[in-house]
């Protein structure tokens, strides 16, 4: 109010804050003018000349100021996400929304500020950090009489500021109590494996529901946002055994995988071998048929010519063959008829030695003398000689 006064602070220039007395005096003047006191406002009122006038006026002014200050103290601001709960003589009259508000000042009305937007948290089974467990909260008996170690976080907001304020003493403690009882009830109704593994979300959902029901029953004005299972484990004392069971599961899978790896190695390999066998067989079939056809055709062609001159052809072929045979082999020609029954010494061992490991065939020619034993023998044919044999074969062709 004084701020709008053009005189404000100007009188004394800028030598500090205006003297209260002077301001009052100034104000008195205005007041008296306002109340229609004639003229006197000009000079008379401003002086302390008349002792009665100013003191009475002063009291009025002070009362007026106090009244304004009192009325002014009724203003309050409700922040976004908050609610103002107004009590008139202790009785709840209204709940105000965010913005600038006014209530009949104290002691008639008072306002309590309640933050309903803030998400509040309660931790069960731990404090601040999941590692700092509170064992007496976190160890819970399950339906199958096992014990699990569980940490929960409950997030909630207030949905009814007046219920929150007026129905329960320490409603925030109630959340913790309710959370504990709800969790234990839900877990007490579930099997351990369900809690630890597949049922985690369901447990949280059921707990949320149960908590909300209980809190509504107490009319706490609290709404549960989320119940999250921070951690669900077997207790430390049996952790090792549980880990081992998990490991065993891994082992099982590993073993199965190894078995499958073996199968995946062996079967395709066998299929490969089988395919090769079949291919080879079909190759063989084609080969034998082709060579049979070839042989047959060759024979038939020769036969045609042979039929034209059998004798000559026969002789020629015979001589050709023997020539070819003899020219390719070492030979010893012996005329035994002269020697009669004499045994002929042939240093076969030496011949063999000169070519060790080679096969030796001794035979008399087709029309051999009866005296001659016809023997053939073969020694083991080493791989080397077989190779050499083959190379020679190639040369011959």
Partner 1 sequence: MKSISSVLTGLLLVIGIVGSSAIFIVDQREQALVFQLGEVVGVKTEPGLYLKIPFIQNVRFFDSRILTMDSEEPERFITSEKKNVLVDLFVKWRIIDVKQYYVSVQGDETLAQVRLAQTINSSIRDEFGNRTVHDVVSGERDEIMKIMRQKANRDAEKIGVRVIDVRLKRVDLPQEVSESVYRRMEAERKRVANELRSTGAAEAEKIRADADRQHEVILAEAYRDAQKVMGEGDARATAIYAEAFQKDEKFYEFYRSLDAYKKSFKSEKDILVVEPNSEFFKYMKSSSLDQEK
- Tell me whether residue 47 or residue 251 sits nearer to partner 1 (CB atom): 251
- Tell me whether residue 39 or residue 63 sits nearer to partner 1 (CB atom): 63
- Tell me whether residue 10 or residue 287 sits nearer to partner 1 (CB atom): 287
Q: How far is the CB of 67 from partner 1 (least distance, A)?
A: 15
- Tell me whether residue 205 or residue 351 sits nearer to partner 1 (CB atom): 351
- Tell me whether residue 22 or residue 193 sits nearer to partner 1 (CB atom): 193
User: What is the spatial order of strands in the sheet that 91-96 belongs to?
Assistant: 91-96, 82-88, 109-115
CB 85 within 8 A of CB 127: no
Angstrom distance (rounded) from CA 17 to CA 47: 21
Eight-state DSSP code of residue 195: I
Strand (E) or helix (H) holding 244:
helix 236-308
Q: How far is the CB of 168 from partner 1 (least distance, A)?
A: 5
Q: How far is the CB of 376 from partner 1 (least distance, A)?
A: 10
- Tell me whether residue 21 or residue 300 sits nearer to partner 1 (CB atom): 300
Residue closest to 380 by CA, chosen among 362, 356, 348, 364:
356
Q: How far is the CB of 371 from partner 1 (least distance, A)?
A: 10
- Count Cβ neighbours within 10 Å for each residue of 141-155 and write b for 16 or more, e otherwise: ebeeebebbbbbbbe
Residues ≥6 apart with Cβ < 8 Å to 219: 160, 163, 167, 168
Give the torsion through C-alpha atoms of 317, 318, 320, 322, to 10 deg.
160
Strand (E) or helix (H) holding 185:
helix 171-188
- Tell me whether residue 65 or residue 360 sits nearer to partner 1 (CB atom): 360
**Residue 230 token pair:** 């921070």
Q: How far is the CB of 213 from partner 1 (least distance, A)?
A: 11
Q: How far is the CB of 367 from partner 1 (least distance, A)?
A: 5
CB 180 within 8 A of CB 134: no
**Distance, C-alpha 330 to centroid of its chain:** 83
Q: How far is the CB of 34 from partner 1 (least distance, A)?
A: 23
């Amino acid at each position: 109010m004084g701020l709008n006064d053009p005189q404000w602070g100007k009188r004394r220039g800028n030598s500090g804050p205006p003297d209260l007395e002077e301001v009052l005096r100034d104000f008195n003047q205005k007041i008296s003018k306002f109340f229609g006191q004639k003229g006197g406002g000009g000079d008379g009122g401003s002086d302390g000349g008349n002792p009665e006038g100013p003191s009475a006026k002063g009291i009025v002014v002070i009362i007026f100021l106090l009244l304004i200050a009192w009325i002014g103290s009724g203003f309050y601001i409700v922040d976004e996400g908050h609610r103002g709960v107004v009590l008139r003589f202790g009785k709840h009259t209204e709940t105000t929304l965010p913005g600038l508000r006014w209530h009949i000042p104290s002691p008639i009305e008072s306002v309590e500020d309640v933050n309903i937007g803030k998400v509040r948290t309660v931790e069960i089974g731990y404090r601040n950090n999941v590692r700092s467990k509170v064992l007496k909260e976190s160890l819970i008996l399950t339906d199958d009489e096992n014990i699990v170690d569980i940490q929960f976080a409950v997030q909630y907001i207030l949905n009814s500021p007046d219920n929150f304020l007026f129905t329960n003493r320490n409603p925030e403690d109630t959340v913790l109590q309710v959370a504990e009882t709800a969790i234990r009830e839900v877990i007490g109704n579930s099997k351990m494996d369900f809690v630890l593994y597949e049922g985690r979300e369901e447990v949280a959902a059921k707990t949320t529901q149960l908590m909300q029901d209980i809190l509504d029953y107490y009319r706490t004005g609290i709404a549960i946002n989320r119940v999250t299972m921070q951690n669900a484990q077997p207790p430390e004392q049996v952790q090792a055994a549980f880990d081992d069971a998990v490991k065993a599961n891994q082992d099982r899978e590993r073993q199965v995988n190894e078995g499958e790896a073996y199968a995946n190695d062996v079967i395709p390999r066998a299929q490969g071998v089988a395919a090769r066998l079949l291919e080879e067989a079909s190759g063989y079939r084609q080969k034998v048929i082709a060579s049979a056809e070839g042989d047959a055709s060759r024979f038939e062609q020769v036969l045609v010519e042979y039929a034209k001159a059998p004798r000559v052809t026969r002789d020629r072929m015979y001589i050709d063959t023997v020539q070819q045979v003899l020219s390719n082999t070492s030979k010893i020609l012996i005329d035994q008829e002269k020697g009669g029954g004499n045994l002929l010494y042939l240093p076969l061992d030496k011949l063999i030695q000169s070519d060790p490991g080679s096969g030796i065939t001794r035979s008399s020619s087709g029309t051999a003398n009866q005296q001659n034993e016809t023997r053939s023998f073969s020694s083991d044919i080493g791989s080397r000689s077989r190779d050499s044999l083959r190379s020679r074969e190639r040369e011959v062709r």
